[in-house]
Chain A
C-alpha cells in the first residue's frame, strides 16, 4: 500500500489581523499580502488570527501573537519577528502545531550571567558558531573566515565538544538557549 502525501501549496490562508497601532497594522498587512495571504478584519471569517500584542477576540480560532500578552496563543513570536518567521509560524499554527521562538519570552530582570568558564568559546569559535547559526557549510565558513577547511573542522569539533552536542542543529539550539551571543554593556 502506498500512502499519498500531498501538500497543497496553493491554498491561500485567510488571516484576520489585529493590530491596534495603525502603522504596525499597515506594515504587517503588507508583509502578509506580500507572502500571499488574504488579509481580513478581525470579525471576518478567517483560518487564523495574527495579533500584535494581546487580542480581544473571544473565539477559538488559532492565533499567532507578536510580543507580550496574557492570553494563550498557539504561536508566540517576538514583537519584531522577521517576515519569514511570521510566514512560517502562520503556516505551522494553521496546520495545528505550536510555535515558540526562543526570543519570544522577554528576557526578564535577571542576574549578571557569569557563564561557565568550562564552556566559554574562543573568539574564533564564536565566529564559527555564528556562521553555523547562519546555516553555512564548512566550505562556506572557510571561505568567509579565510581559513582552511581543515581549520574550520577543528574549530567546529571544539565547539561541539564545549557545547556537548553532536550536530549543527543541536549546537544552534544550545547556543540560543545558553545565550552565547549575549553582550553586556558597561
Chain B
C-alpha cells in the first residue's frame, strides 16, 4: 500500500504504474545481431520510429513486452521530419494516446525499449520550447521541444508522455545527442501520408548549396548568397544550365540570404512549377528558369 501522506512515495508508485502501462505503447525494433531501437505503437497498423537511425531495409522484427515477435514492413519514411512508419503483419492492440502540446517545465517521461520490448523509463522536464522549425532535410516540425533527458541509443524513437499520460511526441537525437521531441502534431500530420503514399513528396532542384559571403562589388549589394557546390546530373538546376560555383542571390525575387526562404518554396505544391533563379557567375548577375521536380527517393 502506498502511504497517502508521503507525496514522494505516491509520485514513485505513479511512475511505476506508468512504466507498466508503457509496455503496451512500445516495441523493440531488431536491427541486427544484438542491436535494436525503439518503436512507438501509434495505431494498430502503424509503429513509428526515428527515421535517421533506422537502417535501409524493407522488413524488421518487432518484439513486444508480452513476448511476441511480429514481422513489420516499412510503410514509409520521411527524412524531412525524421519519421518512419512500420506496418506490422498483424494488427497490434494499441491504446491510442491523446496528443498534447509541450510547455517549459512540464514533466516528461520518455520510454525506450529494452532488447525484449519492455519499457525503460526516463524522467525529466521539458527544458526548452520554440516555434515551428525546418530541419536540414527540408521538413517542417510543428514545435521545437528540448528535453533535459539522456537516452541510450536503443531508446530513441519511443514515446514521450506528460504527467497526465498524454502524448507529447516521439523522442529523437538532435545535434550533439541532445534529446528532442518530434511533436505529436507533426506525427499526426505526416504519418497518415506515409501510410498512404510511402513518403512525403517534396520539390527538388538537384543542387548542393553552401552559404557564402558575396565578394565585394558583386551581387547588387547583397552581402551573402548560396554557392552551388554540387549538381545532380539531369536534375532541374543542371537542366536549367546552373553550374557549380554559381552564387544564388534570389529565388523568385526572394533573397537567398536565408536558406529557409528557398526550402519554403519547395513544398509538395511546388512540383511542376517554374522558378526564377538569380545568381552571380563570372562576376556578372544573371538568371535562369528551373522547373521543380519531385525529390527522388534516395
A interface with B by C-beta (< 8 Å): 20, 53-54, 56, 68-70, 105-115, 117, 120-126, 181-186
Inside 8 A of A113's CB, which chain B residues have their CB? 136, 259
Pick the residue among B32, B153, B174, B204 that contacts A186 (CB under 8 A): B204
Complex Cα spacing A68 to B212, Å:
32
- A–B Cβ pairs within 8 angstroms, 25 of them: A53-B35, A54-B34, A54-B35, A70-B153, A70-B154, A108-B172, A108-B173, A108-B178, A109-B180, A110-B174, A110-B175, A111-B144, A113-B136, A114-B211, A114-B258, A114-B259, A120-B211, A122-B214, A123-B227, A183-B230, A184-B136, A184-B208, A184-B209, A185-B230, A186-B205
The 6 closest A-B pairs by CB, nearest first: A120-B213, A183-B208, A110-B175, A108-B175, A109-B82, A108-B173
CB A120 to nearest CB in B, in angstroms, measures 4
**Which of B88-96, B189-197, B260-268 touches A?**
B260-268
Inside 8 A of B227's CB, which chain A residues have their CB? 123
Taking a contact as CB atoms under 8 Å apart, the answer to whether A109 and B266 are in contact is no
The dominant DSSP class at the A interface is: loop
B13 in the interface (beta carbon within 8 A): no
Inside 8 A of A125's CB, which chain B residues have their CB? 213
CB A85 to nearest CB in B, in angstroms, measures 21
CB A145 to nearest CB in B, in angstroms, measures 14
Complex Cα spacing A64 to B50, Å:
27
Taking a contact as CB atoms under 8 Å apart, the answer to whether A68 and B153 are in contact is yes
B interface with A by C-beta (< 8 Å): 32-35, 50, 52, 82, 133-136, 138, 144, 152-154, 172-178, 180, 204-205, 207-215, 223-224, 227, 229-230, 245, 247, 257-260, 262-263, 266
Inside 8 A of A117's CB, which chain B residues have their CB? 213, 223-224, 257
Inside 8 A of B134's CB, which chain A residues have their CB? 111-112
The chain A residue with its CB closest to the CB of B138 is A186
Pick the residue among B209, B247, B262 that contacts A183 (CB under 8 A): B209
Inside 8 A of A69's CB, which chain B residues have their CB? 153
Inside 8 A of B257's CB, which chain A residues have their CB? 117
Taking a contact as CB atoms under 8 Å apart, the answer to whether B212 and A112 are in contact is no
Pick the residue among B33, B152, B173 that contacts A20 (CB under 8 A): B33
Inside 8 A of A54's CB, which chain B residues have their CB? 34-35
Q: Which of B34, B136, B172, B205 counts the most A-chain CB atoms under 10 A from its CB?
A: B136
The chain B residue with its CB closest to the CB of A180 is B210
Complex Cα spacing A110 to B176, Å:
9
Taking a contact as CB atoms under 8 Å apart, the answer to whether A105 and B33 are in contact is no
Sample of 15 more A-B contacts, CB < 8 Å, known A110-B135, A111-B133, A114-B260: A108-B52, A108-B174, A108-B175, A109-B82, A109-B180, A110-B136, A111-B134, A117-B257, A120-B213, A123-B245, A183-B208, A183-B209, A183-B229, A184-B209, A186-B204
Taking a contact as CB atoms under 8 Å apart, the answer to whether B210 and A122 are in contact is no
Pick the residue among A68, A120, A182 that contacts B224 (CB under 8 A): A120
Q: Which of A68, A117, A181 counts the most B-chain CB atoms under 10 A from its CB?
A: A117
Complex Cα spacing A126 to B210, Å:
10
Complex Cα spacing A106 to B134, Å:
19
Taking a contact as CB atoms under 8 Å apart, the answer to whether A186 and B209 are in contact is yes
The chain A residue with its CB closest to the CB of B134 is A112
Inside 8 A of A182's CB, which chain B residues have their CB? 210
Inside 8 A of A105's CB, which chain B residues have their CB? 176-177
Taking a contact as CB atoms under 8 Å apart, the answer to whether B180 and A70 are in contact is no
